[in-house]
Chains A and B, each alone.
Chain A
């Protein structure tokens, strides 16, 4: 092996170690009891690793007044996640298909508007959004937060699917129209089966985006539906009593776990889907 190669691998290894240090500390700390954390270095390996902090974080950590653990937030996040992802991906696919394949009048203007929508930082529209939702009685409710996620997800979802469907040959739609199939039938029987890879990409984007969301959940979900990220913040930022670092770390890891699992399970599709959209063979 040449010296250059050795240097390259040494650098890569060093960089990998450097970036994994915070994660390692979080994992190690979550496995230590509090006395050990107080007395020892944060770099010290746990003397007797155990999952007590994880159990406490899941079952009985205090989020404000209630002490039911972060599992409440976990289920809230799930209830928000499933309909938000399903509806925003489906609506995006449908929008993209209609815009790219049926080219309705004004499609380009709509597309430009969507592009703008995708790039406007959403903090700008938080306040009007709060007003709108409270006027229609959806503020601080599960349907409210789901609606917000769908609306904020729509521009990017639509663009992804529009670009994918614009890459398909026009003649596919024409052939289906000559065969007598209508808007919905073509979508369900011809376009959706073609979109598996891009659907997976869209689902990954939405799952990670919505699961990791904190701000929207904090503002729109209301106390009863607060997602896991909001609950986590309540655990970590509590100012009463002793800071339980091991419980905080365990709760953080629990919160970060679902998107991580999604990436590990589907990274292959993710890369494939993105490149499939880029180069049409």
Chain B
């Protein structure tokens, strides 16, 4: 059963199309992350699901009920905002119970939910403070608590961690993951941070220019990106892109990079491409190694970037630069001409014109 179902959603501000024909299905208990660069429409899509912004066309169902024209509070959602949006003049207690009081829930029920959520988020000692007296992490927890007490079917998060520093962000990420494991709510979560997306999501929808480019599990997204944009956006350090021309010799396909020939026999094409197809060969840095099986190519060492756990080695391959993720021990003392092994089976190839996976 789908908890959230979006069909043919369109939204424009004057001549500017922010959302174009969005289809999205979030299953019960699923953690869906909307990922994309700023301006891709991910927050607008979340606002549309929340009912905070009217849409031009399309349909939104929550829990099987058409809520397209309903007020935010009648959709069975709870939401956590980027700026926390705590009510500044109210105590933590009143912030968390405001929505319940508006809905005129009985006092004992409000008290019960407050205690439960406060325990869950270690907020019990802070209930009588004002938001101004809390740290950033505590404010974020109050904002999550305010959503939890609603005991809604669906939780919406709009870049909730982007105002926190790196260390706190990692802590809150774990906290959110724990809450999702314990309470198993349906979550739609907006972020531009791919680490957040990869670590939290059960499925990620990568958005660009008001469209969903790919909606898949984190593994699938990382290993088999469907478009050039997804391949480039997901993964850090970024995937190497080599502009090649595909040459066919019967069932065997090779890539031509200047004078260089790279056999692509290990790659599983969705359909065999025509001879002379202009393509982009995408290889993740961890799929280029200094030794081992795979297609061997001769390169010239450029420089090394130590990153702690790994070292990113940069090599000149023909006219292009290629990054390889190396173990620090291996990377030390590497210079001069090197032979690299490329793992073509795990590469991605895209048509240069359509930017779709081949």
Contact = CB atoms under 8 A, between A and B. Distances in A.
A177 B52 contact: yes
Contacts of B83: 169, 171
A193 B90 CA distance: 9
B79 A178 contact: yes
A183 to B, nearest CB: 12
B71 to A, nearest CB: 7
A178 to B, nearest CB: 5
Interface in B68-112: 71-73, 77-79, 81-90, 98-99, 102-103
Contacts of A172: 85, 87
A179 B52 CA distance: 12
Contacts of B78: 178
Contact of B72 (A169, A177, A185): A177
A174 B87 CA distance: 11
Nearest to B88: A194
B158 to A, nearest CB: 8
B73 A178 contact: yes
Contacts of A179: 73, 98-99, 102, 146
A169 B72 CA distance: 18
Interface string A51-89: 000000000000000000000000000000000000000
A178 B77 contact: yes
A178 B84 CA distance: 13
A45 interface: no
B102 A185 contact: yes
A181 B95 CA distance: 13
* Most chain B CB atoms below 10 A, which of A178, A181, A185, A189: A178
Interface of A is mostly: helix
B50 interface: yes
Contacts of B84: 171
Contacts of B72: 174, 177-178, 180
A217 B99 CA distance: 47
A165 to B, nearest CB: 13
A177 B47 CA distance: 12
A176 B81 CA distance: 11
A177 B77 CA distance: 11
A171 to B, nearest CB: 4
Contact of B85 (A174, A180, A193): A174
Contact of B99 (A169, A180, A193): A180
Nearest to A179: B99
A175 interface: yes
Contacts of A190: 87, 89-90
B87 A177 contact: no
A171 B52 CA distance: 10
A182 to B, nearest CB: 8
A193 B89 contact: yes
A178 B82 contact: no
Interface string A98-132: 00000000000000000000000000000000000
A117 B275 CA distance: 72
Contacts of B103: 180
Given A169-B85, A171-B85, A194-B89, A181 B50 contact: no
* Most chain B CB atoms below 10 A, which of A169, A172, A179, A180: A179
A123 B52 CA distance: 45
B102 A180 contact: yes
Interface in A166-218: 169, 171-172, 174-181, 185, 189-190, 193-194
Contact of A176 (B47, B50, B77, B87): B87
Interface in B46-62: 47, 50, 52
Given A179-B73, A194-B89, A174 B102 contact: no
A172 B85 CA distance: 5
A180 B89 contact: no
B81 A171 contact: yes
Contacts of B146: 175, 179
B132 to A, nearest CB: 10
Nearest to A169: B83
Nearest to A185: B102
In the A-B complex, the 9 residue pairs with the closest CB atoms: A180-B73, A179-B99, A171-B85, A175-B85, A193-B89, A171-B81, A180-B102, A178-B72, A178-B79
Given A175-B146, A179-B146, A194-B89, 16 more contacts: A171-B83, A174-B47, A175-B85, A175-B87, A177-B52, A178-B50, A178-B52, A178-B72, A178-B73, A178-B77, A178-B79, A178-B99, A180-B99, A180-B102, A189-B98, A190-B90
Interface of B: 47, 50, 52, 71-73, 77-79, 81-90, 98-99, 102-103, 146
Interface of A: 169, 171-172, 174-181, 185, 189-190, 193-194
18 contacts: A171-B81, A171-B83, A172-B85, A174-B72, A174-B85, A175-B79, A175-B86, A175-B146, A177-B71, A177-B73, A178-B52, A178-B79, A179-B98, A180-B72, A181-B99, A189-B87, A190-B89, A193-B89
